[in-house]
Structure 1
């Protein structure tokens, strides 16, 4: 591990080796113990303490009332959005059906082909060579 990487670890993850990437944890701890990089570790520890001590005060009741009062009032019942979605889906289905009908009206019908295996039990029987 290089000194630059050790400083990057402490600046990014703090002084606690448990927060360092697992693959670099042992090398970082060895570098901290063996060399004079304790300054970077001390700086990271001071920043860790500062961040841990910071607390945000809970909002007071007046702020909560102002936020609640500024919220927009609901304009329509919740089921209107579902009806809108269903309407858009129905309109898309109808538009697609009309488009397919218009395209198929311009396509010529295929020529009739007499295939012996294409007949059914309800139509004419193809000749199969029997006398019945």
Structure 2
């Protein structure tokens, strides 16, 4: 193991050999045994940082924080109101589509003059198309 790799290993995983990757742990321990002064120079800051991090504790949140969170959370009524408006919007879009379709058919239909022969096909938008009909 090179001194650079040992320094990278200690910087990444800390000063405790139990945290080092198993495939590099033996080589790193051999490096410590062969170069104690150089290894100590790399390990000392890492051990100090490990100790500092292990002593750090985060305080539990107090009741005032929980009350503030609950007070600012959206109420169930507000969520239901949003749902109603979304559903109304979707219904309005569907209604607008149906009305647009009905208006299109009404514009494309020929005038309301029923043929004498009882052919109701002539009353549709396709009734006045000329084709191979004989």
Q: TM-score, normalised by structure 1?
A: 0.55
- Cα separation, 1, equivalents of 2:20 and 2:49: 16
Structure in which a larger fraction of residues adopt helix: 2
| Runs (4+) off by over 3 Å | none
CA distance in structure 2 between the aligned counterparts of 1:32 and 1:72, rounded to whole angstroms: 58
**Counterpart selection for 1:66 from 56, 65, 68:** 68
> How far does the alpha carbon of each residue in 1:56-89 deviate from its partner, in whole angstroms, 9 at most, with x for none?
1111111111011111223139xx7xxx8xx9xx
Note the residue ranges of structure 2 that are not aligned, 5 or more in a row: 91-134
Give secondary structure in 1 for the equivalent of 2:80.
Answer: coil
RMSD after superposition? 2.1
User: Would the aligned equivalents of 1:32 and 1:41 in 2 still touch at CA under 8 Å?
Assistant: no
